[in-house]
Amino acid sequence: MADAPAPKKKSIKRLILRRRAKRDTLWPDAAGVVFSPASGGWTQMPRTIPMIASLIDELCGRDKAGRLYITLWAYEFGDGFVEVPDPAILALEAGYVTNRAERSFHERMTILRELGLVRAAPLGLREFGYVLLLDPHHVIAKMYYKKPGKVPPHWWTAFVARCGTIGITLQSKDYLLAFDDAGFVDVSEDPRLS
């Protein structure tokens, strides 16, 4: 399913300047009171992450793992790799504040792994010492095609529209179904490789 191509750099710069001019017209002091990436302590993540977090929460019932998913993205530096400094800290940042916070962290990480959104590697005795954040767009699209009914249709149509609006091209159904659950191409039935 092909969507509109991503905007070019010049049009992005013009958009930023237009938005900033409108913002400064509405709030003349905005430049001094909003967070600036130049001050440090910021991260970049796909604009669809809040929407994906809401789907995660919808799919996992009471055990809301969407907040933890957003927290993991805050620890990522553009390469999908997260070193978990201390599960208790991440649990607190994700809003798990009871005396079973680390257990909640572990349970929610297990959910994220089962959904196929993350991979994990141990560090010492901790099962989740390192995390790899997979491209959520591919994971969600694959889930939609491979497990019909799991992703609600109303959510899927809104997701596809949002992806198109922000320039994310979702892969085709055939492309996504060519990968197995570990992310490897299934070549067992490809006649070109016999």
What one-character DSSP code corresponds to residue 48? T
51 within some domain = yes
Task: Decide if 169 contacts 3 (C-beta within 8 A).
Answer: yes
pLDDT at 105 exceeding the cut of 90: yes
> Do the domain assignments include residue 100?
yes
pLDDT in tens, 67-91: 999 999 999 999 999 999 999 999 9
pLDDT band at 180 (very low <50, low <70, confident <90, very high): low
For range 138-156, the mean pLDDT: 93
Cβ–Cβ under 8 Å, residues 118 and 72: yes
- In a domain, residue 54? The reply is yes
What range defines the domain where residue 89 resides?
47-183
Q: Residues 118-126: what's their mean pLDDT? A: 95
16-27 pLDDT, tens digit per residue, is: 899 999 999 999
In a domain, 175, yes or no: yes
Q: Assess if residue 127 is contained within a domain.
A: yes
Q: pLDDT value at position 15?
A: 87
Identify the pLDDT of residue 4: 53
Query: Is residue 113 in a domain?
Result: yes
Number of domains in the chain: 1
The C-alpha atoms of residue 161 and residue 155 are separated, in whole angstroms, by 10
Q: What is the mean pLDDT of the chain?
A: 87
Burial-class residue 159 by CB neighbours within 10 Å (0-12, 13-18, 19+): buried
Task: Record the tokens describing residue 113, joined without a space.
Answer: 């792994």
